Amino acid sequence: MHASWAARTDPGRHRSQNEDCYVARPEIGLFVVADGMGGHEGGEIASKIAVDAIAEAVEVTATLSDQDAWPLPFNVSVSRDANRLRAGFDLANRKIRERCTMVPALNGMGTTAVAVLVGDETTALAHVGDSRAYLYRAADLSRLTRDHSWVEEQVQTGALSETAAREHPWRNIVTRALSGDGMIEVELTELDLRLGDRVILCSDGLSSVLCDSEIGEIVSRHADLQTMCDDFVHVTNANGGPDNVTTVVLDINAG
């Protein structure tokens, strides 16, 4: 299976620097969006470390079988590609910890991340934090990830509505991140993609401004992927652009 792709990242209207980062490696089927946290360049550093480390691990594990010596114990309950992503997120977390040890001023930096690995037979999705993945299929948009955030937990328990969560002062508090602290809990999902599907990866600079129906409407009106990414940024900034915004969109085709 093959994926055409496009991407766009923008600092938004109120941030002096862009702490988002993305990587697109179509030759190995890997696409990642990371949203850094920490300020004083810490977030920018953390997100760059994360996307580079995920790409490195996915590439290194490309030829490993489930019988080989993996960086982490091989999880037989998920696909080989999901194990590759999990290894990438673990390497990212360790490299962030190493950088903080070397530069104490960076302590407290971290990043969310969402990654998809499109393989010949399987497609795996991994995420930590509130960067999101969506699937657009047959004119319908569905969310593939659940936010690891305080407000999402409140929505799940019924304490907050979706609308209230979008306006809550604690909406930016994430409950999982790549921050170098101990073992990370990566959420892994196996995707059954079909020809004609579109996958959208984005930082919360997009999803915190545009609701799912608005995101779906933008996807529906653009055949060209780069135009779609540009429109995501344009509409987000037209609605205030309070944060950095990054989106990577994939079009699944036969190649």
Q: What is the pLDDT of residue 255?
A: 63
Residue 160 or residue 173, greater confidence: 173
User: What is the Cα–Cα distance from 208 to 44, expressed in whole angstroms?
Assistant: 20
| Domain boundaries along the sequence of the chain | 2-253
**pLDDT of amino acid 212:** 94
* pLDDT on residue 39: 64
The predicted structure's pLDDT at residue 246: 98
pTM of the predicted model as reported, rounded to 2 decimal places: 0.94
Answer yes or no: is pLDDT of 169 > 80.
Answer: no
Is the confidence at residue 149, as pLDDT, over 90? no
- How would you classify residue 107: left for phi > 0, otherwise alpha for psi between -120 and 50, otherwise beta? beta
Pick the CATH number of 2-253 from 3.60.40.10, 3.40.50.2300, 3.30.56.10, 3.50.50.60: 3.60.40.10
User: How high is the mean pLDDT of the chain?
Assistant: 92
DSSP-derived secondary structure letter, 106: G
Dihedral angle, C-alpha 173, 21, 143, 230, nearest 10 °: 120
> Does pLDDT of 164 surpass 70?
no
**Helix (H/G/I), strand (E/B), else coil: 117:** strand
**Residue 36: closest CA among 155, 154, 172, 230:** 172
Residue 161: per-residue pLDDT: 66
| pLDDT grade for 162, boundaries at 50, 70 and 90 | confident
Residues 225, 136: contact at Cβ < 8 Å? no
Angle separating helix axes 212-220 and 225-238, nearest 10 degrees: 140
Contact present, 96 and 110 (Cβ < 8 Å): yes
How many of the other CB atoms lie within 10 Å of CB of 154?
17
Q: Is the pLDDT of residue 228 over 70?
A: yes
Sheet containing strand 187-191, edge to edge, reads 20-25, 30-37, 110-118, 123-128, 187-191
pLDDT of residue 165: 66
As a whole number, mean pLDDT of residues 64-90 equals 92
The predicted-structure confidence for 116-128, as pLDDT tens digits, reads as follows 999 888 899 999 9
Do residues 12 and 242 lie in contact, with contact meaning Cβ atoms separated by under 8 Å? yes
Contact in structure between 106 and 99 (CB atoms under 8 Å): yes
Segment of 19-23, 74-78, 171-175 carrying the highest mean pLDDT: 19-23
Query: Mean pLDDT over residues 62-88, rounded?
Result: 91
pLDDT at 249 over 90: yes
- For residues 112 and 130, the answer to whether their CB atoms sit within 8 Å is yes
